Structure 1
Amino acid sequence: MAGSPENILLRLPTEQERAIRDIYTALAERGLPEQKQRPHISVTFAPTMAAKVVGEAAVILPPLMPAELRRVGTVVFGTKSKQTVAWLLEAPEELERAARRLSAMNPEGRGDRWIPHLTMGLRIQKAIVPDYLAALAEVTSPHLNAVTAERAAFYQPGLGTELRL
């Protein structure tokens, strides 16, 4: 996919974004790859998001906010030389149903599927993933066991715009 895709995503409260950025900083201070992405939870994405998906998201997501998503583990996505390290999240059933509906509506989506996660390491060289996982466990407070989806948004990185849903 050329460039960053358009996303229906969930934004965190400022203080939680700051806590996650502090984790990114602590990892970088240990010599691990710097993470510059803004913390978020993707619902569905596409090179260009279909208008019907954005419209439906604007109807079904806002009533579900805020939503608490429990951190239930750490996962590694990808099979190639660069991988993604993420916190696996468990969402409330209503939010999960809504996310699956939006993914199924998205022609570029993966059908009626959603794996709620928060990316903690993007484009990590496969060889250092074990070290990254160990460091992430060390710098993450054991009390940080949930995140809050405060609001839904439609993000268009190519235009530099974000629409609150």
Structure 2
Amino acid sequence: MSRSPQNILLYLKPCEEQTIREIFAELASRGFPIQHQEPHISITFAPELSDDVIAHAAQLLPPVIPATFQRVGTVVFGTKRKQTVAWLLETTDELEIAARELSALNIHGRGPRWTPHLTMGLRLPREIVPEYIHALDDLGSTLQKEFTAQRAGLWKPKSRELILYAGE
């Protein structure tokens, strides 16, 4: 049984997902931890999302997808031994407003905040984070600066079910 939370996620175009997987593979070939996550951008998550959040996402997301994102920096999340390295993203005002509204509705969330990002290194030992960022900058600096969120949906990990709101 999965302990992962339910998520409202944005998925990239297949060619962009492939580019990210190639970066993961190159980082692994350089000795860094293998990354297994599917490339995605999270809007909000909870152990179980409320019906209000799910229904509201079905209304808010279709008009704003597809959406373009620009990579504007690299961030590190976490304060303990394991940390996450991600590319910081910016997107359209319309999607930003929708995401913040969904986040605000989520009683398990952080209020009306959203930090759009694409996780590039999950659960990395703190000691390797600087080297990982350097390698990621080396690989990603020219490969991918813009992304398109082509699909949006609710991911239910317990049942391994994806309910699409937008996209094909």
Return the TM-score normalized by structure 2: 0.95
Aligned counterparts, 1:16-165, within 5 A: 16-165=16-165
Secondary structure of the corresponding residue to residue 129 of structure 2: helix
**1-structure distance, mates of 2:15, 2:141:** 14
Secondary structure of the corresponding residue to residue 144 of structure 2: coil
Q: What is the CA-CA distance between 1:142 and the residue it aligns to? A: 1.5
Q: What is the CA-CA distance between 1:89 and the residue it aligns to? A: 0.1
Secondary structure of the corresponding residue to residue 162 of structure 1: strand
**1-structure distance, mates of 2:47, 2:143:** 36
**1-structure distance, mates of 2:10, 2:121:** 18
Q: What is the CA-CA distance between 1:75 and the residue it aligns to? A: 0.2
**2-structure distance, mates of 1:41, 1:143:** 18
Return the TM-score normalized by structure 1: 0.97
Q: What is the CA-CA distance between 1:3 and the residue it aligns to? A: 1.8
Percent identity, aligned pairs only? 54
**2-structure distance, mates of 1:113, 1:100:** 6
**2-structure distance, mates of 1:46, 1:53:** 10
**1-structure distance, mates of 2:27, 2:106:** 35
Quote the RMSD (CA, aligned, Å). 1.0
Supply the AA of the counterpart residue of 1:56.
Answer: H
Q: What is the CA-CA distance between 1:93 and the residue it aligns to? A: 0.6
* CA offset digits 1:100-152 (Å, max 9, x no partner): 00000001110010000000000000000001001111111425111111111
**2-structure distance, mates of 1:66, 1:55:** 19
**2-structure distance, mates of 1:141, 1:132:** 13
Number of paired residues? 164
- Give the structure 1 partner of residue 9 of structure 2: 9
**1-structure distance, mates of 2:56, 2:112:** 15
* CA offset digits 1:75-118 (Å, max 9, x no partner): 00000000000000001111000000000000111001000000
Q: What is the CA-CA distance between 1:14 and the residue it aligns to? A: 0.7
